[in-house]
Amino acid sequence: MTRLSALLIPAILLAACGHSPEPDAVSAGVSAPVAAVETAKRVYEARPAALPFRLDITVSSEVIRALDAAGATLTVGADYYGEPRAGAAPVNLGHEDREISAGNKSITLAGRFDAAQVAREISGDPRVKVSAAVSQEGGPVVYCTEFEAALTLAVETGGFIHCELLSE
């Protein structure tokens, strides 16, 4: 194999995958694994994406009364994440908080994430886990269910959380 073909084969393979090798790596005759490591170190531009979804929140009448008496509100928090392509820990894609007053509500969460990060690091669809809790310390103790699903499914079906009073 000639030196020229040895340099062109990694470049052709990378181009076929939608990537181009670093110019310095090809001209210096650096092997493909080194070029791949250098490519991975590059800074990628974010591609903001959003998949807004509806979340229905129901609270018992006891929760409404206790929150009103304490002047407290609920905070709804959504964590966006994904299962990594490699490694064990889930990849954090962002967080969103919404403060709401007592009562049954239907809210829309933004579902914002970086599509470039998902393409690089996530295996499958981004996911969302939503929980709710009393915002102020000293307020009533409330138990709320959680909602967790693939973000694409949450967009199609919406989500549901229910809160019950444990103690005042």
Is the distance from CB of 32 to CB of 10 less than 8 angstroms? yes
Residue 32, classed as helix, strand or coil, is helix
Residue ranges making up the domain that contains 11: 3-41
Q: How many helices (H) and strands (E) does the chain have?
A: 6, 10
pLDDT recorded at residue 11: 44
pLDDT tens sequence across 40-54:
556 778 899 999 999
Q: How far apart are CA 112 and CA 106, in angstroms?
A: 18
CATH of the domain at 117: 2.60.40
Are 99 and 124 within one domain? Answer: yes
Going from the first residue of the chain to its last (168 residues), give the mean pLDDT of each consecutive group of 10, the final group possibly shorter: 43 43 45 52 82 96 94 95 87 95 92 93 94 88 96 94 92
Q: What is the number of structural domains in the chain? A: 2
Are 95 and 58 within one domain? Answer: yes
Are 34 and 92 within one domain? Answer: no
pLDDT recorded at residue 38: 54
